[in-house]
Amino acid sequence: MDSEIIRVIAFLVGVIAFAALNAAYLVWLERKEAAHIQRRIGPKEVGPFGLLQPMVDGIKLMTKQILIPDGVDPILFRLAPILAMIPAIMCFVTIPFSQELVARNINLGLLMIFAFASINVLALLLGGWASANKYAVISAARAVAQNVAYEIPMLITVITMVMITGTLNLNDIVAQQPNISQWYIFRFSASPLMPVAFLIFFVCSLAETNRAPFDLSEAESELVAGFHTEYSSMGFGLFFMGEYANIVIGSSLAVILFLGGWQDPFGLFPGVWWFLIKLYCLIFTVIWIRWTYPRTQFYGLLNLSWKILIPISLFNLLLTAGFLKVF
């Protein structure tokens, strides 16, 4: 068989396995971390340290019946969970786990990730609208407003980054940051506001993935479960996996753009392990943030974007342009 086909199949299986395993075990991490922040133990009965809990949950989800309520749009209702999962898997294609371990090292990798990530909003909108449920519709409307508001500062920050790096190829961006002093978060020669740019990017990626404290679209206390209220079994499972895959992608992008990707902080042993260490530190922080802050109100959410993040990221863009021109 052609080696190219083997490569494609190997990466396909690997990427899907990575996404699914992450979705399963991030739930475990989330429950453990939440428990320890609240000084409990968390899952502990199924397997050592509760490590088999995600498997059992997965089997339960897969063996349940998919209920399709009366009055839903039959095609869109089935399409939405798939549409939530596929772009998330697609985004993994260009993520460089190490210098060689990347499914397709294309030149427009960064652009491709944002193109596919924006389909996610559409999936939430379709899922909410097709459910014919008032809570789901409110949730979908909130998700769209929120994603539109946060896409702008995120893209402005990414434009700033692209101006500095001069490339959209993610592997090249990582290659430009060989040790900790050259990571873009500390590259003060490009702009003194680089740590702020990282913060803006991180906050936006939280909001884009509908994570707490910006999880208004699935606010349990007011909207039941948000856009996936009517979904059962793997319909819900796919939304859930898509959400966690998006968290992984958001954190990977932050690692690649600002924290040197697979590069060693001391320039000694670059490789996939450094990428994973940095990735899981960021994901730990994402979960930590969820169990620290209460949910924002809707006007607070939009105020943060339009009054704080967008002006600051625009200022950073101008400042970076000036620095690049002068130095």
Q: Which amino acid is at 172?
A: D
Residue 240, judged by CB atoms within 10 A of its CB (0-12, 13-18, 19+), counts as buried
Q: Is 76 in the site for another protein (CB under 8 A)?
A: no
Site string for another protein, 127-146 (x = CB under 8 A): --------------------
By CB under 8 A, residue 151 contacts another protein: no
Question: Closest approach of Cβ 292 to another protein, in Å?
Answer: 4
- Identity at 1, one-letter amino acid code: M
Structure tokens at 315: 């200022």
Using rule CB under 8 A, residue 319 touches another protein: no
Q: Which stretch binds another protein (CB under 8 A): 39-47, 55-63, 122-130, 253-261?
A: 39-47
With vertex at residue 15, the alpha carbon angle to CA 203 and CA 81, rounded to the nearest 5 degrees, is: 65
In the bound complex, what is the minimum distance in angstroms from residue 223's beta carbon to another protein? Answer: 25
**Residue 60 CB: number of other CB atoms within 10 A?**
11
Shortest gap between Cβ of 310 and another protein (angstroms)?
A: 13
What are 115's two structure tokens? 């193109």
3-37 and 233-258 helices, crossing angle to 10°: 90
**One character per residue 274-293, x = contact with another protein (rule: CB under 8 A):** --------------xx-xxx
Identify the sign of the CA torsion 56, 57, 60, 63. Answer: negative
- Nearer to another protein by C-beta: 37 or 90? 37
Shortest separation between residue 307's beta carbon and another protein, angstroms: 8
Work out whether 37 is an interface residue with another protein (CB under 8 A): yes
Considering the complex, what minimum distance in angstroms separates the CB of residue 57 from another protein? 21
Write the single-letter amino acid at 310. Answer: I
CB closer to another protein out of 6 and 308? 308
Sole window of 11-19, 29-37, 61-69, 165-173 interacting with another protein (rule: CB under 8 A): 29-37
Tell me which residue of 321, 46, 268, 10 sits closest to 160, measured CA to CA: 321
Q: Residue 72: name the closest of 231, 243, 220 by CA.
A: 231
315 binds another protein (CB under 8 A): no
Integer Cα distance of 153 and 146 in angstroms = 12
How many whole angstroms separate alpha carbon 312 and alpha carbon 14?
Answer: 39
Among 39, 74, 268, 327, contact with another protein (rule: CB under 8 A): 39
> Would you say 118 or 285 has its CB closer to another protein?
285
192 near another protein, rule: CB under 8 A: no
Residue ranges that bind another protein, judged by CB under 8 A: 33, 36-41, 44, 288-289, 291-293, 308
